[in-house]
Structure 1
C-alpha cells in the first residue's frame, strides 16, 4: 500500500498539501533547502541520500527521475529480491521518520534510519523462522496468542504551549499513541476507544484520508497489520473520564503516563476533587 501511494503521488507531501490549501510553506522539514515533493523526499534530500548510501543502495539514485512512477518501475526492473526488499523497507522508514519529524519533532539521521531498516528486516526473518519452528512441532496454534486488550485515549490541548496545531490533531495523535502502546505491550487483538467521533470514524474507514490529519490517520492504518484484529469504537466523554483526567493532568504536570491495572495517585486526587466539586454544585441552593 505504501509503494502504491508513492507511485501515484498520493502521499501528503507539503507540495501536495499546498495544492489542497492545507499548508503554505512547502520547504523540506529535514533540510529546509528545497520544496518537499515525492522526488525530493525519496531521492534528493541529503538525509535520504545518506540512507541509500548506508544501505549500499546508492544505485537507486542513478535512476534519478522526477517522474516517480518511472523511477520505481526502473528500480523494480533492475533489482534482485533482496535489494527490492531493502528498497521497499527503506521507502517506508524514510516516510515514517519524516512524519516523526513533522508531528513529533524527532529528527533522525540517515545512518540511524538505515540501521532501523536493517534491524526490521532481521526481525522479519526471525519471525519467519519462529513460525516454521512452531509449525514443525505441531504448535502452530500458539502463534499470535499474546492476548487482547482495550485502550482508551483522549487528548488535552494547550493553545499557547503546544507543538500541535489544534485539538482535532491532538485527538488523532492520541489515537496513534494508543495503537503504538498496544504494539509495545505485545497485544494481538486490540480495541481502541475514544470520545472523538470524527477521529474514530476516520480510523474505521479504509479509504484514503485527505484531511489535515490524513498523515496521522495513515500512520494508524499502517500499524493495523501488526495485530490480528483491531477495532476502533466511539465512547461518550462521560464514560471516558479516566482517559480524559489522565490527559488533563499530564498536560498540567508535563509528564507522560498511562493507566494499567491501577489508578495513579495524581489521577485519583484529580477525580476526587472533581467529584467533590460536583457534589458542592448539586448541594448549592437555587438562586
Structure 2
C-alpha cells in the first residue's frame, strides 16, 4: 500500500531468513527426491519418531544415524575399507544396524528383560525403523518410574555396551545393560522441569517496556474478525483520548477480502488504524493489539514472510508520525475494538466506515 521495497525471503522457514540449518534441510529434501535412496529412508516421520521424542539430543542423534545406516558397525566399516573384521562382538555374526540392536541374541535378551506392558520381540522386526515405530506404543510398567519411550534408552545402552566391549574389553551383562538404560531414563525424566504456562502479565514483560508518552498521545485499540472459509475479515479500531481532548473518541472499521490468516487480519487492522490516524491528523499514537504474536512481529528485526508487505506498510506509516508505540493488551481489555470488528460483519458492502 505504501510502495515498500521488495525483499528476498527464504521460503522453507517461517521467518523468511536463510540459515545454514534450513539450507541443509532443503538440500537434503531435494536429494531424497533426485537420488536413489534406500526405501527405508523415505517414509520416516522424523518429527514424530525422532526429533520430538522426549529424550536427550545424544540419543536422538544415535537414532538418526541408525536410520541412515551411518553408524560405524562392522559391516559399514568393512564397506569403507576401515576394518577387516565385520563380525558382532557378542555373537560373531555380521554386524549390521539391525543385527546389533534387534537380532543379536544379546540384544534380544535385553529387550526380553525390558519391563514393558507388551513383550517387545525384537527379532520379529526386519528393519530398525519398523521397530522404532512399534516402540511408540510401548508402556513401561511400574515401579520403574519411566514415562518416556524406553526404546531410545535401550538402544543407547546397547551401543555403549558394544563399544566398551570392543574398545576397552569390558564385558557388561544383559541385566546390567537394561538396568543402566532404565536408570538413565528415570534420572533424565526427573531432571526435566516443566515450567507453568506464563501468565498474560509475564507475556507482557517479554515485550519492550512502555516509554513515557508525549503529551497529546492518542490511545488506539485494534482487533479483527476473520472467516477462514471465505477468507474475509472485518477490521476494527477505536481512538480514545488520554486527557483534555474532547474531540475524541473516533472509531473505524474496514471490510477486507483475500485474508490468509487471523494474524494477517490483525496486522491489517493495525495498518488501517494507522492510515485513519494520519487522515485525522494524529501525530502521536499508542497502538494496542490483543495479538501477542503480531506485536512481537512488528517490534522484531526479523519479519515473518507471510506478513512481509503489511509489516513494511506499518513501518512506513508509523515512521511518518512523531511518536508511535505498539504493545500487547489482554483480550478482556480490548472489548470495544472487538465489538467494532464483529459489528462490521453486518456491513460488508461498505469498504470503509469511519465514525
Tell me if both proteins adopt one fold, taking TM over 0.5 as the criterion.
no
TM range (shorter): 0.3 to 0.5
More helix by share: 1
Bigger relative contact order (CA 8 A; separation at least 6): 2
Give the TM-score normalised by the residue count of structure 1: 0.41
TM, length-normalised to structure 2: 0.33
